[in-house]
Amino acid sequence: MRAFGRHLRVFRLKYWASWLPNSLFTALNKDLKLIFVSNFIGAFGDGLYAYIWPLYIRELGADPSEVGVVFSVLFFVAALTPLPGGILADKYDRKKLMILGWLLWIPIPLVFSAAEHWTHMLPGAALYGIMLSGPATSAYIATVAHKKKMTQTFTLISAAWWLGYIFSPAIGGYLSSTVGMKWVFNLSFFFFVLATVLLLFISSQFTLSDSRREASGIPNRRRKILLWSAFFAAVFFVTILFRPYVPQFFQDVLFFDKFQIGILGSVTFLGSAILSVALGKLGDKWGKANAVFVSLILCFLALSFLVSLSNFFLLSFASFMIGASYPLWSLMGAVISSIAPSPSRGRWISVAQTMSLLAAFFAPYLGGLLYDSSPDKPFLIAIVATSILSVLALTKPLKDKN
């Protein structure tokens, strides 16, 4: 019976890991495919409320700057967790850290569901910000990824999130308008549990010590990592400056209802999924800096359209391009992982993530103040900033091969 049980479990794993189309997912092994499926399911649950979450915070009595406070709490906690997560990722089983990350997320929808005032959201926002498993996940992916497909592997795993978000914002927007947000949060809880369970079936992974590789070119690698980390910190400051205020802009300025806003959110994540795959292939073929450049240019164009258009269908096109801002996180993982020495990869990744999240911590509140002053201000500033950052991505210090 035990042997039969083992064969049954193997069959189930092969089923879950092989249903994905091979033509697109040849870069992923069995474990990465399971992570892909777990991310997809978890993202579907998260996407039911994530895009319209700022609107719900407003419904609980918050003004735009107070919405920014909630997001700042999220990013403050997020900034504190990658460094210890990176140290743990280089010492212990990365699989267990990834499971722990989901276990900490499971209560979040229940906390949000119980909130009666916007301040009651703060404990859930703090849990939402825990990024303890982030370095472990990035290091896990980098360790098993084919070196010539590093960028594609990172962006494919990232695309699982955006695929999960494609339909869920529209569904969440519809459900919130018909049965209420509390039901949406409870449904999200179910998907979070399912995403966690799937990770139980991936292989364990521990860091492999290699002192020769660790010592090779460390000063140059350190400078390169810190330079890229500072660059991505600026990138994420800009993207978080405007992203929480896109759905509010649609509601306050363009007078779209929640269902329409949810549809635009779904279009945004459709863009993220498609553009993640495209940017990954571009990064492996033409260089990661070029992939970052294209992502930022698409953000620049999208924001330019956002502040100058009012037609719902034309804004769907702009929303699709706003999706280019989301793969930047996975591009950062690919860039840093390709430079960092293998034995300390988790810690190097955590440095970049911490710098980016610290920068992002200040952005939502500032964005809220700018939005209070004039709803288009966060977007106008982001238009200028993304144009400058896109040029910087092509400068020699960043564009050198890594």
Q: If the chain, 402 residues long, is cut into consecutive pieces of 10 residues, what is the mean pLDDT of each piece?
A: 46 44 64 90 89 86 85 85 84 90 92 91 90 83 79 81 81 85 91 94 77 51 84 92 88 86 85 86 85 93 92 92 88 81 75 83 84 91 94 78 52
Q: Of 198, 141, 140, 195, give the one whose Cα is nearest residue 27.
A: 141
Find out whether 320 and 268 touch, Cβ atoms under 8 Å: yes
Find out whether 254 and 262 touch, Cβ atoms under 8 Å: no
Token pair belonging to 27:
């870069």
- The H or E element spanning position 16 is helix 2-18
**Residue 49: how many other CB atoms lie within 10 Å:** 25
Write down the pLDDT at residue 382. Answer: 94
Write down the pLDDT at residue 401. Answer: 55
Q: Which CATH code for domain 25-202+218-399?
A: 1.20.1250.20
Amino acid identity at 86: G
Token pair belonging to 358:
């610290």
**Cα four-point dihedral sign 96, 97, 100, 105:** negative
Domain residue spans of the chain: 25-202+218-399
